Every structure is written in structure tokens, then in C-alpha cells.
């Protein structure tokens, strides 16, 4: 497994010693960027084959992944299963949306509104209905996206039987919301709320290449003294 982690670092899939803002708005020193893994054919193939071998004895006929990374991993994993002589169906679920007519700059325009939850577009719900389903995603941190995917599977009439993630950076172990959990890698990462971020207090430069560091700088400015953790530090002194 050390060789696999080395490969991921080489392709930029695991970034250490940085200052990153995660989707949850929390901060940390490290980041798992599975898009970089998918962009490298060798790394994508290697990780999918290893995870497929760990799941080969499980009983399911469909693999469901959420956009915008888990869906691609569902396809890669299905391809790995095919190499093992087993055909499974990859499907994806995306955020629910609704078209609405609203006024924009004095004119009525049709816009797409993002709703809560996820569903299976393009008739894929029929492939889920009545099937046992493996739910897969790239990284497990808080589990919000996986929970939405599980709900979408159940809403479509499928039965989630297992959860698999390519990287677990959370403190969740062994099972996820009552379902067995399999992980390819476990990379625990220390994270902080913005008001308590150690990297902010140390004035480590913000990474704007991955994560949401760019948004953070637009919101709070380039000067570390204006970041929430440092404002809170001043108030405690």
C-alpha cells in the first residue's frame, strides 16, 4: 500500500504540507485530489483494480457514484470488475434541479435552480430499481454526498448493500450509516473550523489550486491578519 500512496503523491492525488479549504469550509494541511488520479491512466487503473479485488466477493449488480467524481469512479470500477470476469452496471446520480422562470435584470428568464438531494438522470433509475447497489465515492470526509447518493438509490427502488471509498480521511471506520464500509486508503487529516485554523494562525499561504482557497481569499482578503482564525486570536489575547 505504501507503493500505491507513493504513486498518488507523484500524480498529485495526495497533497501534503499545504493550506487547503475543503468543501465543508473547514481547513487543513493536506488534500486528496482524485481528479488528478483519474487524469493519470496508470494511477486510475491501479487504484480501481486494487479496490475491485477487495470487493469481488460482494453481491451487487449496480455501482452508483455521485457527480462529479464518484460517477467516473463507478465507471472505472465497473471496468476493473470486467477484467475480473464480472459485469456490473455503473450509474451516476446528480444534484436535483428544476427550471424556473424568474426576473433577471428586469426580464423574465428561464434558470436552473439546484434543489436538495440527488437523483438518477437519463432513465438510469430503471437500472437501479430492484437491484442491490454498491455506492462509491472518491473521498469520505463528512459523508454528506454519500448520504445523498444512498437516499437517491432508495428513492429509485434500489437496495444499497455496501459503501466503498477510494480514500477515507474521516474518523468513520468499518461501517457508514449502518452499511459495511470498504476503503482503498485511509489518510487521516487534521482539520479545523475557520476560526480555529492552525495553518491560518501560522500564516501558511492559501492553496488556490485545489479546494476552495480562492473563494476564501475573495471572502476574507489576501492579508492573513483578516482571516477569521487570526481575528479570533486577537480577541483572545
Binding-site members are 96, 99, 137-145, 169
Q: Which residue has the cell 470476469?
A: 85
- Cα separation, 92 vs 89, whole angstroms: 10
Q: Which residues contact 59 (CB under 8 A, 6 or more apart)?
A: 132, 161
Total Cβ atoms within 10 A of residue 11: 16
Annotated binding site for orotate: 141, 169
The two beta strands, 107-119 and 132-140, are unpaired
The neighbour count for residue 27, using CB atoms within 10 Å, is: 29
Of 176, 174, 165, 157, nearest to 136 by C-alpha is: 165
State residue 235 phi and psi, 5-degree precision: -70, -20
Helix locations, the chain, DSSP H? 2-10, 34-38, 41-55, 70-83, 125-128, 144-155, 198-201, 213-220, 228-236
Report the binding-site residues for 5-phospho-alpha-D-ribose 1-diphosphate.
96, 99, 137-145
Q: Report the alpha-carbon distance of residue 89 to residue 97 in Å, rounded.
A: 24
CA-nearest of 121, 139, 185 to 33 is 139
Report yes or no: 130 and 158 within 8 Å, Cβ to Cβ. yes
Amino acid at each position: 500500500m505504501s507503493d500505491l500512496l507513493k504513486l498518488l503523491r507523484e500524480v498529485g492525488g495526495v497533497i501534503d504540507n499545504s493550506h487547503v479549504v475543503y468543501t465543508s469550509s473547514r481547513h487543513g494541511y493536506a488534500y486528496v485530489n482524485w481528479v488528478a488520479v483519474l487524469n493519470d491512466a496508470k494511477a486510475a487503473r491501479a487504484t480501481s483494480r486494487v479496490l475491485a479485488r477487495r470487493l469481488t466477493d460482494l453481491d451487487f449488480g449496480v455501482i452508483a457514484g455521485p457527480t462529479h467524481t464518484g460517477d467516473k469512479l463507478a465507471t472505472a470500477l465497473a471496468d476493473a470488475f470486467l477484467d475480473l470476469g464480472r459485469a456490473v452496471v455503473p450509474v451516476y446520480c446528480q444534484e436535483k434541479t428544476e427550471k424556473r422562470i424568474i426576473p433577471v435584470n428586469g426580464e423574465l428568464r428561464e434558470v436552473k435552480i439546484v434543489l436538495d438531494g440527488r437523483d438518477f438522470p437519463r432513465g438510469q433509475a430503471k437500472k437501479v430499481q430492484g437491484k442491490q447497489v454498491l455506492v462509491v465515492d472518491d473521498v469520505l470526509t463528512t459523508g454528506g454526498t454519500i448520504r445523498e447518493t444512498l437516499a437517491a438509490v432508495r428513492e429509485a427502488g434500489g437496495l444499497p448493500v455496501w459503501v466503498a471509498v477510494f480514500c477515507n480521511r474521516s474518523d468513520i471506520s468499518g461501517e457508514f450509516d449502518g452499511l459495511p464500509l470498504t476503503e482503498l486508503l485511509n489518510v487521516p487529516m487534521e482539520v479545523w473550523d475557520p476560526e480555529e485554523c492552525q495553518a491560518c494562525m501560522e500564516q501558511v499561504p492559501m492553496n488556490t489550486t485545489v479546494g476552495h482557497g480562492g473563494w476564501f481569499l475573495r471572502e476574507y482578503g489576501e492579508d492573513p491578519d483578516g482571516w477569521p482564525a487570526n481575528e479570533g486570536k486577537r480577541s483572545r489575547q
